[in-house]
Amino acid sequence: MQHRVPKIDNTIEELGWKPGIGMEAALRRIFEAYRGKVVEARTLVDSAN
């Protein structure tokens, strides 16, 4: 399978839904939510190696 990137316009039309915030704000919120988990995630990665 090739890299598939869904087109947001299709999602809006097919589901009758559209995002309430922009991509930049969404990414900022995601990063902010996980900011405190960096050390925990690093520990998991290091212990798997």
Residue 32 has pLDDT above 80, yes or no: yes
pLDDT of residue 2: 73
Cβ partners under 8 Å of residue 41, min gap 6: 34
Q: How confident is residue 30, by pLDDT bands cut at 50, 70 and 90?
A: very high
Q: Is the dihedral of CA 32, 35, 41, 42 positive or negative?
A: positive
Percent of the chain whose pLDDT exceeds 90: 35
Q: Are 19 and 8 in contact (CB under 8 A)?
A: yes
The whole-chain average pLDDT of the chain stands at 87
Report the alpha-carbon distance of residue 36 to residue 25 in Å, rounded. Answer: 18
pTM: 0.53
